[in-house]
Amino acid sequence: MRDRRTFLATGLSALAAPAFAAPATDYAAVLAQAYGAPVTPDAVHARALSAVRAAQARADVLLRGQGLKDGSVGERLRTLAKDPRWLYPDSDAGRDRAVAEMNARLAAFRPRLGEAFGGLPIAAAEVRRMSPADVAAGRGGYREAPRDGQPGAYYINLKAICERPAWSLSSVGFHEVIPGHLLQLPLQAAAAPPADRLKAAGAYFEAWAIYAEQLACDLGAYRGDPRGEIGYLQWRLFRLGRVIADIGLHAGAWTRERAIAELTGLQGQSIAFITIEADVDRMISTPGKYAAEALGALAIADWRPRERARWPAFHRAVLVEGPWPFGELERRLRS
């Protein structure tokens, strides 16, 4: 039988010459620049692969608890996503219910923020439906930062609501609203970092929101909610899969078709608000970007103190001066 091993069974050393863009040595420089510190594709690949295995092991346990025991994790995620019990109606009422449940989850989680952020000011923010005009225009989800006493908002694209099982949306709220983008953005505005630092720290913005998904889980957001945790893990596999596919495309011999197949096998189906095919095309055109963002999220989690009593001071140090390239951020955290 033809050997069908994937990156889950082989390391970067098994990948041959690059299939796209620049030579691997140039990609390594691009990745390091995007991250903001010296890194190598081999090391990044190994770190992401370790996190993939941990996420798959936890997802396997939870999926078995849902009665899904056969097939790969990706196959079982695809099966769960088609279960009509967890799908919203394709109607205004269904979309209103989805938004209401996302906001209820955020409201229930908000009291836990003190454990992670202490007295750090956190503006009000919520999820809202897009206007009919935005939906008709095909606009993607977007944010309005809190300002002048008005709450911030994330306008979610629920046009394809039949592809959005209820258990997949909680992590979106944590990423986009709190403790993700709409917690970080007002603090960045108050810090007013210089434009050149913002440009150099391009991976920080998305890295913080990816880390926020993990932080919500670590703070117990999914306690007693195994399907919600499955949704979080599927999003995590999507983020980590981007790291490995980005490296495979630019420092290995991966074709576009292989990247699509690998990501599909890992996620089961696209959980993001973009097709897997379009996501791979983004990676081809912007080497290093998505790998650097997910690596930044992993780094923040790695640097976080074990003692929860120290989390507020740690998060304040990460957030209050605005974004930094990750090499400089690490230096500041360790000084």
If one compares 70 and 20, the residue with the highest pLDDT of the two is 70
Residue 2, in any domain of the structure: no
First-to-last C-alpha distance (Å) of the chain = 55
Residue 3, in any domain of the structure: no
pLDDT (mean) for 56-68: 98
Between β-strands 142-144 and 152-156, what pairing exists: parallel, antiparallel or unpaired? antiparallel
How far apart CA 201 and CA 160 sit, in angstroms, is 33
9-18, 34-43, 99-108, 196-205: the lowest-pLDDT one: 9-18
Residue-wise DSSP of 140-178 = PPEEE--BTTBPEEEEE--TTGGG--GGGTHHHHHHHTT
Residue 51, in any domain of the structure: yes
pLDDT at res. 24:
59
Q: For the chain, how many structural domains are there in total?
A: 1
Residue 48, in any domain of the structure: yes
Residue 1, in any domain of the structure: no
For the chain, what percent of residues have pLDDT higher than 70?
Answer: 93
In single-letter form, the type of residue at position 36 comes to G
Highest average pLDDT, of 86-100, 128-142, 262-276, comes from 86-100
Q: Give 4's pLDDT tier (boundaries 50, 70, 90).
A: very low
* H and E: helices and strands count for the chain: 16, 3
**What tokens appear for 123 in the block?**
């503006």
pLDDT at res. 148:
84
Say yes or no to pLDDT of 8 above 90: no
pLDDT (mean) for 62-74: 97
How far apart CA 9 and CA 261 sit, in angstroms, is 15
pLDDT tens digit sequence for 231-253: 999 999 999 999 999 999 999 88
pLDDT at res. 2:
31
Say yes or no to pLDDT of 22 above 70: no
Residue 70, in any domain of the structure: yes
pLDDT at res. 21:
43
pLDDT tens digit sequence for 140-183: 999 999 988 899 999 999 999 999 999 999 999 999 999 999 99
Say yes or no to pLDDT of 29 above 50: yes
Strand partners, 96: none
Nearest CA-CA partner of 332 in 57, 37, 66, 33: 37
Residue 4, in any domain of the structure: no
pLDDT at res. 25:
66
pLDDT at res. 23:
54
Residue 129 domain boundaries: 12-334
Task: Label each residue of 57-75 as H, E or C.
Answer: HHHHHHHHHCCCCCCCHHH
pLDDT tens digit sequence for 123-134: 999 999 999 899
Task: Label each residue of 242-307 as H, E or C.
Answer: HHHHHHHHHHCCCCHHHHHHHHHHHHCCCCCCCCHHHHHHHHHHCCCHHHHHHHHHHHHHHHCCCC
**Average pLDDT, rounded, for the chain:** 92
pLDDT tens digit sequence for 97-141: 999 999 999 999 999 999 999 999 999 999 999 998 999 898 999
Say yes or no to pLDDT of 16 above 80: no
Residue 127, in any domain of the structure: yes
